[in-house]
Amino acid sequence: MGRTFIQPSQDMRNFSVRVKLNPVRSMIEGKRILIVEDSIVRGTTIRTRVKKLRELGAREIHMRVSCPAIRFPCFYGIDFSSKGELIAANTPVPDIARFIGLDSLHYLSIPGLLDSVTEKNAHCLACFDGNYPIEPCNHQGKMCLENESKVTG
Ligand code: SF4
């Protein structure tokens, strides 16, 4: 199925989620569920999943995210190039949890992420902290770097 968040329309993302995940009622009903997600971008994909788990009778649904909250756009090729697309850009974590339909939500912190790697200064953290290692140009967003690589590369 690939990654749902890079698909171009919400309808396509919702369809992919439905095809990708087919939860079994007997495994869900009455259970307290902990979901470990690698990231939350828009929040719409996981919201659809959580709604399905509620429909199947989950008693509680909690989520832990194994990266920090994505609050800033990526201009380097990952397909979230505006703040308006990012649920964590302007929404406090408890409100994100409510939007998704969770009983609790916690992200890995930036220090926690850095604790997990050996090279502390060798990583881009721009989508978490807004510090871009290469200044994005302000008129073409990520296309600027892509066009530049076509010219030079
Ligand atoms: S860490 Fe940097 S390159 Fe990776 S998605 Fe975030 S902004 Fe883009």
pLDDT in tens, 78-102: 777 688 889 999 999 999 999 999 9
- What is the residue with the minimal CA distance to atom 2 of ligand 1? 124
Tell me, in angstroms, the distance from the centre of ligand 1 to residue 123's CA.
9
Task: Give CA–CA dist 71/85, Å, rounded.
Answer: 10
pLDDT in tens, 104-134: 999 999 999 999 999 888 899 999 999 998 8
Sheet holding 104-107, edge to edge: 32-37, 60-65, 104-107
Give the contacts of 141 (CB within 8 A, at least 6 positions apart).
Answer: 73, 75, 81, 82
Atom of ligand 1 nearest to the CA of 128: 6
**Structural domain tally of the chain?**
1
Tell me, in angstroms, the distance from the centre of ligand 1 to residue 57's CA.
37
CB–CB of 110/68 below 8 Å? yes
Strand partners, 41: none
| CB contact burial 37-51 (16+ within 10 A = b; e otherwise) | bebbbbbbbbbbbbe
CA distances from 32 to 6, 79, 148 (A): 30, 33, 50
pLDDT in tens, 40-67: 999 988 998 999 999 999 999 999 999 9
CATH number for the domain including 103?
3.40.50.2020
Within 10 angstroms of residue 127's Cβ, the number of other Cβ atoms is 24
Amino acid at 31: K
Sign of the Cα torsion 105, 76, 14, 18 reads negative
Query: Which residues form the domain of 109?
Result: 4-152
- What is the residue with the minimal CA distance to atom 3 of ligand 1? 76
Structure token pair of residue 61: 């649904």
pLDDT at 150 over 90: no
CB–CB of 124/76 below 8 Å? yes
CB–CB of 107/94 below 8 Å? no
Tell me, in angstroms, the distance from the centre of ligand 1 to residue 124's CA.
6
